[in-house]
Amino acid sequence: MTQNDIIKNHLKKHKTITTMQAFSKYGVTRLASRILELRNSGMKISGYMIPVKNRLGEKVKVKKYYVGK
């Protein structure tokens, strides 16, 4: 199974994914690249930035992708 297949299946099941989830659950370090490839294959994926805390407790923003517009 390719990383694109993994991300596609995750989005179908859970509807959203963040860069942090992609890395921690699947070891995908370049989620934005996988999303671009899925978009180029015809999948409708949008995203927005959300605030989270990193492992040091600092406030950072990560992209949250979802299926749709």
Query: Residue 35: helix, strand or coil by DSSP?
Result: helix
Question: Token pair for residue 45?
Answer: 């994926």
Give the span between the Cα atoms of 7 and 35, in whole angstroms: 8
Question: What pLDDT is attached to residue 24?
Answer: 93
- Whether residue 9 is predicted with pLDDT greater than 70 in this model: the reply is yes
Residue type at 66 in one-letter notation:
Y
Question: Token pair for residue 13?
Answer: 């099941």
33-62 average pLDDT score: 96
38-49 average pLDDT score: 97
φ, ψ of residue 6 in degrees (nearest 5): -60, -50
Query: Residue 21: helix, strand or coil by DSSP?
Result: helix
Question: What pLDDT is attached to residue 68?
Answer: 82
Q: Are strands 45-53 and 16-18 parallel, antiparallel or unpaired?
A: unpaired
- Whether residue 26 is predicted with pLDDT greater than 80 in this model: the reply is yes
The pTM assigned to this predicted structure is 0.88
